[in-house]
Structure 1
Amino acid sequence: MKKYLFNVRYVAAVALLSFASCVNDDLPDVGDLEDITGPTPFYSFSDVSSSEFDCNDVELSANYDYFFQAGTNLAVNGTQYDWTVTPDTGLVLINKDLPILQQSIDAADATVVGIQSEIDKLEFKIPCESDPAKKAVMEQEVIKLKAQKAVAEASRSEETIALIAYYNEQIDNLPEGTLQDREVIFGFPGPGVYDVSLKVTDNLGKSDVTLKTITVDQAVPTVPVPEISEAGFEDNDLFDGSGDGRDSWRVPSNAAWSPLGGGTTVPQINSNSELGSVPEGLQSAKFPSGGDRVAYQEIEVTPGATYVISYFTAFNLDSPGEMTLSILTPNTSSYAESLLTSNIIASRTESNDGRIADVFKKHAITFEAGTNESVIIFATNSGDEYRLDAFEISVKN
């Protein structure tokens, strides 16, 4: 057996020596094969555009910026990148590091930037606010925030000031982007169709080109997120710091909206002493088992948009019961009309069967605004006491 293994090793060694002699560069016309593999270019891009509209959806500004990143199959050989954009009239080339440096400044000056962001949000809303009382509160809030911003600016540390100056100096010295950059931001002059080609050349002079047609879409206003007042049924949660947690949930008419034909319809408030005992804050809305209490709130929506409303419920489990949350058209004017299919945009009925007493569970309803500029959130119950808390609404993309 040992002799056999020795022979095998000998054969393998001879084979390796023979192979080595075949690739010896000293032999005429024999050696490494010529590298005939050329580059295969590819690239990716992402939309980093920004735009600004006023509250009447009038465009104030728009930047049609796209981040492009070139690539190739060659991992070792040196490469040269050449971009071509057609048409290129008005095209702006932006160094890829510019937004990174700008974000670094925002991070270094986070307190001031955060306050300014809140000021911008309020100043955006004020011109289109029709309620004089709300407008006055927002204007006072802007004055207060500007004072806070001045204090924050004066309180910047020397380290923060130096860091902001450093980043600004880097921005000032940043070279413009070029068509030979591997990563570059193209600032297109506006919406349209553009041919973007990438030529990659390796260090042996071999090259190849790839081309894509890029469609730059017109900037459109983002759909604003509606506001649900007193969404967590907490005291002093209205825009002016007032409210008992349920003022925004009162029906226009007890007689018209009462499931029992009259009487008090506004939800009761259940209070807790420890944070975390309810999904939000310390209070939740309570609906006795008799079914005489309802929650009603009309909110503004954007026609054509789709929304998701989420909320939490808990049951007592004293007897079989259920609760219903509906999204109604704004022309619904009574409890009887809330039951009509033509007035119900979306609805969810939840039984207490299988639930655990006093444990909150999250639910969600998706609905389309259609042609409506507002909708009504309407909640009712029967058979068992239940509690409602922590409404949230988002725009579904």
Structure 2
Amino acid sequence: MNKYLYNIKYIVLGAIVSLTSCVSDDLANVGDLEDITGPTPFYNLTDVTSSEFDCEKNELWANYDFNFQAGSNLAVNGTMYEWSITPADDVTFINKDLPILNLKIEAERASVVAIEKEIAKREFKLPCETNQAKIDVLEAEIVDFEAQLVAAEAALSDEVLQNISDLESQITALPPATLQDQELIFSFPGPGEYTVGLTVTDNLGKSNYTEKLVTVNQAVPTIPQPEIGEPGFEDNSLFDGSGDGRDSWRAPSSSAWGSVFQINSKAEGILPEGLQASKFPADGTRVGYQEIEVTPGATYVLTYFSAFEENAFGDVTVSIVSTNATSLDEAKLAANIIASRTDNNVGRVDDVFKKHAITFEAGENEKVIILLTNSGVESRLDAFDITVKQ
């Protein structure tokens, strides 16, 4: 038996030696199989389009930029890339490092950039503002921020200024982007459909091609976030520094809607925000009413906090109502209710506020009413906020 095992071992060893000799570099054209596997190209793209519109939603400018990054199934073997674009008219190319260097400059100028943004916000609002009191406040704030801007620029240290200069020199020295770059930014002349192809060639000269149809969409204005007056019910929180915390929440007719809510003060740290909240007595005779501007077709998320007394059952309702309603009774009609949420005091703890959210669609409305009502026990609401749902 051992004799047979001994013979088998040497037969296997001989086979291995034989196979090894077939791929020896010393034997030309023997055992070397041709590599017929070419690269498998692919690429990723990211829409980095930027644009600016005025307050009347007229386009001021738009850059239809897309970041393209090529890849393949190969690792590091001298792979070459070649992009193509159809139609190619007026398509330009940007070095991928340019936006990175610009962001680094912004970071160095962070204190200055923050003030510039505050000025830009107010300059954006001015042309379309019709309330003279608000115009006066915006202009005064711009003057104040411009003075802060001068001081912030003067306060930039020599080290920061040198860093900015170095980054600007790097931008100047950037080579132009080419269709042979693995990663680059395509700047399209406008909306449309473009065929972007990629050819990948390996170090053996083998290549493959892939392409995608890229749709460049028309730039659209950013949906503005609605403004809620006195959202935290704090004194002096109106745009001009005035207000008793509830001036923005008074209905146009107390006989049709009910009297405005009361204000409840608490020590710091108890309320979700500030020192004051809205208070609704148990008899349900007080309301909160505020019209806000919305963008037709947009979807919004309204958030707020509630708290209750616990001596009996009670609830509080926050509704989004159409401006077609001219009274509290009409606001309760299903045809006028856009969205509504009711929360009660079951399981609640005194002075512990709970956060809620309502998602609603503006539909064809340019304005809606935020309506606050309660019943059963003293209830409080605080810290309203609204965002555009993306």
Question: Which of the five TM-score ranges fits, normalised by the shorter chain?
Answer: over 0.9
Deviation sequence 1:166-203 (CA, Å, 0-9, x none): 11111112122111110010000011111110111111
Matched, 1:272 2:266: yes
C-alpha spacing 1:23/1:322, structure 2 compared with 1 (3 Å): same
Shift of 1:206: 0.7
Which sits farther off after the overlay, 229-238 or 17-26?
A: 17-26
Deviation sequence 1:118-154 (CA, Å, 0-9, x none): 1001000011001000010000000000000000001
Any residues of structure 2 matched to 1:1-397 within 5 Å, and which? 17-27=17-27, 29-258=29-258, 265-275=259-269, 277-397=270-390
Deviation sequence 1:199-241 (CA, Å, 0-9, x none): 1111111111101111111111111010011111112111011
CA distance in 2, matches of 1:396, 1:314: 26
Deviation sequence 1:285-319 (CA, Å, 0-9, x none): 11111111111110000111111101110111110
C-alpha spacing 1:319/1:201, structure 2 compared with 1 (3 Å): same
| Runs of 4+ in structure 1 over 6 Å off | 3-15
Shift of 1:355: 2.2
Deviation sequence 1:51-92 (CA, Å, 0-9, x none): 111000111101100000001111132111111111111111
Shift of 1:370: 1.2
Specify the SS of the correspondent of 1:115: helix
CA distance in 1, matches of 2:189, 2:108: 32
C-alpha spacing 1:35/1:238, structure 2 compared with 1 (3 Å): same
C-alpha spacing 1:13/1:311, structure 2 compared with 1 (3 Å): farther
The one-letter code of the counterpart of 1:274 is E
What is the identity percentage for the equivalent residue pairs of Structure 1 and Structure 2? 61
Deviation sequence 1:82-113 (CA, Å, 0-9, x none): 11111111111100001001100000000000
**CA RMSD after TM alignment:** 2.0
Specify the SS of the correspondent of 1:38: coil
Deviation sequence 1:316-355 (CA, Å, 0-9, x none): 1110011111101112111111111111111111122222
C-alpha spacing 1:5/1:146, structure 2 compared with 1 (3 Å): farther
TM-score, length basis structure 2: 0.95
Shift of 1:7: 10
CA distance in 2, matches of 1:101, 1:23: 51
CA distance in 1, matches of 2:242, 2:13: 91
CA distance in 2, matches of 1:154, 1:11: 86
Give the length in aligned residue pairs.
389
CA distance in 1, matches of 2:112, 2:12: 73
CA distance in 1, matches of 2:137, 2:4: 97
Shift of 1:24: 2.3
Shift of 1:4: 12
C-alpha spacing 1:256/1:205, structure 2 compared with 1 (3 Å): same
Shift of 1:21: 3.4
Specify the SS of the correspondent of 1:120: helix
CA distance in 2, matches of 1:278, 1:240: 24
Which sits farther off after the overlay, 365-374 or 137-146?
A: 365-374
C-alpha spacing 1:24/1:245, structure 2 compared with 1 (3 Å): same
Which sits farther off after the overlay, 44-53 or 240-249?
A: 240-249
C-alpha spacing 1:126/1:35, structure 2 compared with 1 (3 Å): same
CA distance in 2, matches of 1:295, 1:208: 66
Deviation sequence 1:246-302 (CA, Å, 0-9, x none): 1111111111102xxxxxx22222222223x11112221111111111111100001
Specify the SS of the correspondent of 1:236: coil
Specify the SS of the correspondent of 2:260: coil
CA distance in 2, matches of 1:236, 1:364: 26
TM-score, length basis structure 1: 0.93
CA distance in 2, matches of 1:19, 1:297: 87
CA distance in 2, matches of 1:307, 1:124: 22
C-alpha spacing 1:4/1:266, structure 2 compared with 1 (3 Å): farther
CA distance in 2, matches of 1:168, 1:318: 67
| Structure 1: gaps of 5 or more residues | 259-264
Which sits farther off after the overlay, 374-383 or 166-175?
A: 166-175
CA distance in 1, matches of 2:325, 2:167: 57
CA distance in 1, matches of 2:180, 2:123: 42
